[in-house]
Structure 1
Amino acid sequence: MPSTHPDAAADAAAAWRAANEAVGAFPRGHADIVRWERAHLPPSAPDASSTPATATASQWTLDDIRRLALRQRADLLIPPGLGVVERLQREQAAAEAVLQAQAAWIEAIAARAQRRLREEGHHAAESGAELAARMQRVGNFSAERALREATVAHATAAALEQARLAERQALVRLWQTVGGAAAPEAVSDHLPRALPALPPLPGDEARPTLAAQQRAHHPQWPAVQAEAERARAALPPGAWEALQRAVDAAVARGAPLAPRLDPTQPRWPHGWEAALHAQQAFERLQRQLDGDLTLALAAARHAAQQAQLQRTVRLPAAQRLEEETLLRYNGMLVGTWELLAAARERLAAQEATVAAERDAWLAWLDLQTVLAGLPYRGRTASATPDAPDTAAKGH
């Protein structure tokens, strides 16, 4: 075996020491990677989306948003002597304007929280990618592993840009709805750092009260109900039952097409037909309102349960996993990259928690929309914008 020249061996050893010192001196090396995942933005840290006035700006509440939204709608002012139907219509329009503004407020708070989490995740990915690149240069890491870490950093950078765009869009939508500031950026100064606690949802025993509240705010309910009762009360004895039998026979006779009355029978009196139409219109409206209330309640309860599950089970599990991984890292049982993976899982769980709480709030607002006599529109569960797959493969 050929011998190694002493000078060459000394040079190689010196190069090796210098390389390891470079990695050890890396300003965001192993120790900093351990620290970053446990460090959050301090309360006093400036927010990139905020203006210098943030420290003195008051934070808007849900009720503040209600007032701001209504100040933009002078067309909904109710003057003295306005008719019942017109008054209910304006009250309904005001409720819709308020609930839309409050939904925009919730979206803006959640979008900002998600952007902050994306910034934390991207900072971590950048640290890992830089460390991997330096370790590759000194021969401690393969090019394949370094490229994987760089790919993670690229993905988190793209996700961060998407989150920044989503935040700006949410701020602009809120500003367009309620004003309250000279520019959309200034609206951010009035947002709380986190979503408020979700109000409690009514239980099944409150269903009759909720249905009565819903009907009391519907502009057409009093007239439709009164017309059905008046028209039916005007029928002679036995006429309503005869009408039901005639309709059943017409449906059977016309199947599978439109119902057909018996041509051999005389036409109904106009009052009978009016009573039938009025009763059916009343029943359709009743089913519409009851169905909307059922759907809104079910959606709000489901979203609240999912948010609670995410907040009390899934997020704590991810946090415990990160803590256990850190303990194993300190005991040199796992490496830096396992620690990074656990931190990414914790960040993903935090993002999912923000999204779940946002969806629970939006479902609660949908329920308030229904209680205001408005139709239930529903919404699919919102997704965290373009969440990246940041799991680097290999060891």
Structure 2
Amino acid sequence: MPKKHHISQIPTVRRGCKPAAAAFLFSSLFLSGCATFSPDAGMGVVAGVAGETIKKDVISIRTQDDAQRADGAVKELLRRTLTVDSAVQVALLSNRGLQAAYNELALAETDLVADSLPPNPTFSISRISGSGAVEIERQIVGDILALATLPFRSEIARQRFRKAQLRAAEETLRLAADVRRAYYRAVAANELIGLLNDAKSTAESTAQLAQKLGETGSLNKLDQAREQVFYAETTADLATVRQDATSSRERLIRLLGLWDGDIGIKLPQRLPTLPRRPLSLPGIEVDAVTHRIDLQIARIELAALAKSLNLTQASRFVTMLDVAGIDRKTRDPEGAPFRERGFDIQFQIPIYDGGEVRVRQAAETYNQSFNLLTEKAVNVRSEARDAFRVYRSTYDIAGHYQREVLPLRKIISEEMQLRFSSMQVDVFALLTEARQRIAALRAAIEAKRDFWLAQSELQTAVNGGGGGEAQSQSKSSTTAQASGGGGH
């Protein structure tokens, strides 16, 4: 262990003179008024990011007035059918997990203020008596090394606070992305329920007709079973979709932070129509590298580590330097008083540890952070490219169903109706075509849902806020569903 080297000097001075070291320590007390808390607890950066990237308002609820204002805005939004934008706004005002993230930001500001203050001096007083002699000593001790490195530590603390602000902004974007995913899944489930309700009615009519024809001997058991199994499968499918819709709705309610009487949210029965043109993002990699919040956080971490490395190198040989101002009063047995003033210095001698270990640790930590930042930058560019390709491909697939598959299915259905009216085909051929049309409609709904989810992922890839709710990896094959309708 490093040894403490103690130097004590107590020169006699004239009454009224003050040691420079003690005056320097006392002056540090007045510097504490320089560090103050911000009026918004750092929320300005969060509000700026939310306003610029997702065009939404945020609030950190700290008073009863804040809570009432947020609750009033939420209730006003819930009176109408929720859109994806209004759902995101409700979550940003009502989700308590997000408010906890804002509390973390406020705590980070307290660390900033604490690290920006000069070190508190220590005052001690002692009284020793014996054999008629009395000695009273007073000391005020200050950490000179901490005071000398205060500008470096304050700058590091400010960068850490900036990092905390971006982390709060990232949590805001993450919640918005999760709400968008849950919203599109819940609305898509509602649209599928409407489709399968119609399919169930058709299948039920077919099963009843098949049963009557079977009773008259006009339909064999094989054809009867085919129509009945279609009805049974459609009924089971509808029950599954209803369960998915309930779970998706509850997931959305949790993200919105709603409870009690506010859970009766109104959702659309159909997904939004596709935009007329997809986004064109020729500079998507540059946009992602510029705007991604997690990349900005990594840059700040690297800058803070660079300053920490400089501070470690500057203070490698001296890890402790205390200066004490001393005022000593002594009364001898004869009653003659005399007074002494001086100072005391304590510091460590780097005999065994010259700071090489701390410098090496700081350097390797900096190098590690630099490599991780480089890796993240590479990954961000790749994620942006991949998200844009998925976005374009899902747009093309969903558009293909809207422009090609569904119109053709409509023509086939109309032609089959004409042939049935002229008795060129029987009812079972007509119902077989109806099954295939239902399968195509279902595939089109799911393709449209995948597009809106892909658009949300694209926004996340550019702005940040990923890593929340994982997108489902098990996507059903729309082509197989379109051609999977049974027939005779």
Residue of structure 2 equivalent to 1:339: 430
Contact 1:155/1:389 (CA < 8 Å) preserved in 2?
A: no
1:160–1:389 Cα change, 3 Å:
farther
Q: How far did residue 127 of structure 1 move? A: 0.4
Rounded to whole Å, the distance in 1 between the matches of 2:162 and 2:192 is 45
1:286–1:137 Cα change, 3 Å:
same
Name which of structure 1's ranges 123-132 and 196-205 shifts more when overlaid on structure 2.
196-205
1:215–1:168 Cα change, 3 Å:
closer
State the secondary structure of the residue aligned to 2:243: helix
The equivalences for 1:186-335 within 5 A come to 186-187=264-265, 190-198=266-274, 200-214=278-292, 218-224=296-302, 277=368, 279-335=370-426
Amino acid at match of 1:75: A
Residue of structure 2 equivalent to 1:349: 440
1:173 paired to 2:266 = no
1:368 pairs, out of 459, 465, 475, with 459
2:193 pairs, out of 106, 111, 115, with 115
1:72 pairs, out of 82, 92, 95, with 95
Residue of structure 1 equivalent to 2:242: 164
Rounded to whole Å, the distance in 1 between the matches of 2:257 and 2:363 is 54
Residue of structure 2 equivalent to 1:153: 231
Q: How far did residue 75 of structure 1 move? A: 2.1
Contact 2:108/2:164 (CA < 8 Å) preserved in 1?
A: no
Q: How far did residue 112 of structure 1 move? A: 1.0
Residue of structure 2 equivalent to 1:62: 84
State the secondary structure of the residue aligned to 1:204: coil
- Aligned CA RMSD, in angstroms, stands at 3.4
Contact 1:175/1:184 (CA < 8 Å) preserved in 2?
A: no
Residue of structure 1 equivalent to 2:334: none
State the secondary structure of the residue aligned to 2:379: helix
Name which of structure 1's ranges 210-219 and 358-367 shifts more when overlaid on structure 2.
210-219
Name which of structure 1's ranges 276-285 and 131-140 shifts more when overlaid on structure 2.
276-285
Residue of structure 2 equivalent to 1:27: none
Rounded to whole Å, the distance in 2 between the matches of 1:229 and 1:202 is 41
Gaps of 5+ in 2: 1-77, 110-160, 310-358
Rounded to whole Å, the distance in 2 between the matches of 1:183 and 1:389 is 44
Aligned residues: 300
Contact 1:59/1:191 (CA < 8 Å) preserved in 2?
A: yes
1:332–1:302 Cα change, 3 Å:
same
Rounded to whole Å, the distance in 1 between the matches of 2:377 and 2:389 is 18
Residue of structure 2 equivalent to 1:53: none
Rounded to whole Å, the distance in 2 between the matches of 1:326 and 1:111 is 29
Amino acid at match of 1:196: P
Question: Normalization by structure 1: what TM-score?
Answer: 0.66
Deviations 1:318-361 (A, max 9, x none): 22211121122122211111111111111111111111111111
Residue of structure 2 equivalent to 1:96: 174
Rounded to whole Å, the distance in 1 between the matches of 2:215 and 2:224 is 10
1:274–1:76 Cα change, 3 Å:
closer
Question: Normalization by structure 2: what TM-score?
Answer: 0.55
Q: How far did residue 388 of structure 1 move? A: 12
1:368–1:381 Cα change, 3 Å:
farther
Q: How far did residue 144 of structure 1 move? A: 2.2
Deviations 1:260-299 (A, max 9, x none): xxxxxxxxx9698677545433321211211221222222
Rounded to whole Å, the distance in 1 between the matches of 2:295 and 2:423 is 65
Name which of structure 1's ranges 313-322 and 271-280 shifts more when overlaid on structure 2.
271-280
Deviations 1:154-183 (A, max 9, x none): 111111111111111111111222145647
1:383–1:285 Cα change, 3 Å:
same
Rounded to whole Å, the distance in 2 between the matches of 1:154 and 1:184 is 36
Structure that is richer in strand per residue: 2
Rounded to whole Å, the distance in 1 between the matches of 2:305 and 2:182 is 39
Deviations 1:343-386 (A, max 9, x none): 1111111111111111111111112222232457665363399x
Amino acid at match of 1:113: E
1:374–1:333 Cα change, 3 Å:
same
Rounded to whole Å, the distance in 2 between the matches of 1:392 and 1:358 is 25
Residue of structure 1 equivalent to 2:132: none
Contact 1:172/1:184 (CA < 8 Å) preserved in 2?
A: no
Structure that is richer in helix per residue: 1
Rounded to whole Å, the distance in 1 between the matches of 2:484 and 2:171 is 45
Contact 1:224/1:281 (CA < 8 Å) preserved in 2?
A: no
Deviations 1:114-156 (A, max 9, x none): 1111111111111011111111212222222112211211111
Rounded to whole Å, the distance in 1 between the matches of 2:210 and 2:471 is 47
Name which of structure 1's ranges 97-106 and 308-317 shifts more when overlaid on structure 2.
308-317
